[in-house]
Amino acid sequence: MRSRNARARLWTGIGAAATPLAAVAALAVAVAAPAQAATAVKTLAEAQGRYFGTAMTSGDVTNSAESSVAAAQFDMVTPGNEMKWDATEPSRGSFSFSRGDQILNWGQSHGMRVRGHNLVWHSQLPSWVNSLPTNQVQAAMESHINGVAGHYRGKVYAWDVINEPFNEDGSLRQDAFYKAMGSGYLADALRTAHAADPDARLYINDYNIEGVNAKSNALYSLAQQMLAQGVPLQGIGLESHFIVGQVPSSLLQNMQRFAALGLDVAVTELDDRIPLPASSANLQQQGTDYGNVVKACLAVPRCVGISQWGVDDGHSWIPGTFPGYGAAMFYDANYQPKPAYNATVAALSGPASPPPTTAPPTTAPPTTAPPTTAPPTTAPPTTAPPTTTPPGGAGCTATYQVTNSWPGGFQVSVAVTNGGSSAINGWTVRFTLASGQTITSLWSGVNTGTSGSVTVRNAAYNGTVAAGGATSFGFTGTGSAAPATGVSCTSS
């Protein structure tokens, strides 16, 4: 995603007359002073075992008012444009890292982690890439990844390795990489990035995948396939460029099903645009939207954090790309907190959540070492031996495994595998929880019972499993971690 000077792109639900605000916004920024004594969202997020970040460009970090607010409020920074292909390799084999280094150095000087954004994207490609013969594209892609990820090796928390690979219908974009390598470019990019920067978390990042829909279903299937093949995919980035009042109701369910695969999930580019001029009712709704996003992340142990795509309304990319829309951040153009900020603070101030499996930052990392993925010292995970059923029905088996635990709670992943020679069109898993265990949140399935004998049937989107294929569901629970007994699977 571009941070400000982006070409207009097609998004669902867009349409409003343009409103001339550039002069007003510029004046507001010129005279604005940061809000004083505001609660730092990063501190509240860290108390929940998450991070709360922002996106910054090279111009943003030299704006003293904007950068001071960012440094006070956020503990993760994503370069808006400075690490993309057109900025880092404008001509083949000629790399430039000065602007990316500027963001990295600024973030590290303020105790922030840095999210690498991005390595492979159909947009913001220099013309030479699109002009390559197809038999040269793979080498160019691998060289670019090695050059950029290698330069920042050990210095970034995560990489958006692949950015926006899907069309809205769930098909893959017919970009230069797909035309040259087919869908295989995705796994190749991740493997190359892992070799170049082995300690960074590796993500696929996209928009309009926040809820359960054709696009997110396609990504879910791709993620399953990659994990089965040993591809080093470690996270899913939900860009979350919302329109006010349109945060999908299935956001939590969607986060949970990706987490159940053993992947981190992150809200990577959050903003919530409003038709201008912004009404009081829409600003209040925006607060509700922000609060719901934060609550969803806190409810999923593997949701590692949230990043807003910018600091304030005066520096947002939204008005320049979506005429008639704006006011998308939780600070206004005068750096004053809006209802969305207050809702974020309230949501982050709620009861502490179970720690993410991969332990997102709780303190600022040293600038010379990459973040670790060890679990929090106060809540070490325990992994019980998996329990596997004998074949049932048309070859359906279930593997039940405790994947994480913390004082008073635990997380389970259940893999459902079709070992038969024909597809199954529905499955049911039964098991008995240990004494004192209770399911608190279950995803990617429909359960009957929360303690003792439990039955879980497939969700609407994962009942069909091809021969030799697999799907999964998961849940969090209260009580001591222990394997279930009597695990069985039947299929139809």
Active-site amino acid positions:
164, 269
For residue 492, what are its two tokens? 């139809």
Cα torsion through 147, 152, 158, 163, rounded to 10 = -30
Of 362, 379, 366, which is closest to residue 43 (Cα–Cα)?
A: 362
Backbone φ, ψ for residue 485 (5° rounding): -120, 165
Task: Give the whole-angstrom CA distance, residue 452 versus residue 443.
Answer: 18
For residue 279, what are its two tokens? 């009404």
For residue 166, what are its two tokens? 């899907």
**Which amino acid is it at 298?**
L
One-character DSSP codes across 395-443: TEEEEEEEEEEETTEEEEEEEEEE-SSS-BS-EEEEEEPPTT-EEEEEE
Cα torsion through 282, 299, 478, 462, rounded to 10 = 110
Q: Where are the alpha helices (DSSP H) in 117-183?
A: 127-130, 134-151, 176-181
Strand partners, 430: 455, 488
Task: Give the whole-angstrom CA distance, residue 114 versus residue 451.
Answer: 42
For residue 450, give the 3-state DSSP assignment.
coil
Of 216, 217, 260, which is closest to residue 238 (Cα–Cα)?
A: 216
Strand partners, 23: none
From residue 265, how far is each of 240, 352, 487 by CA, in Å? 12, 18, 28
Q: Which residues contact 280 (CB under 8 A, 6 or more apart)?
A: none
One-character DSSP codes across 30-66: HH--PPSSPPPHHHHHHHTT-EEEEEE-HHHHT-HHH
The rounded Cα 224 to chain-centroid distance in angstroms is: 16
Task: Give the whole-angstrom CA distance, residue 282 versus residue 37.
Answer: 26
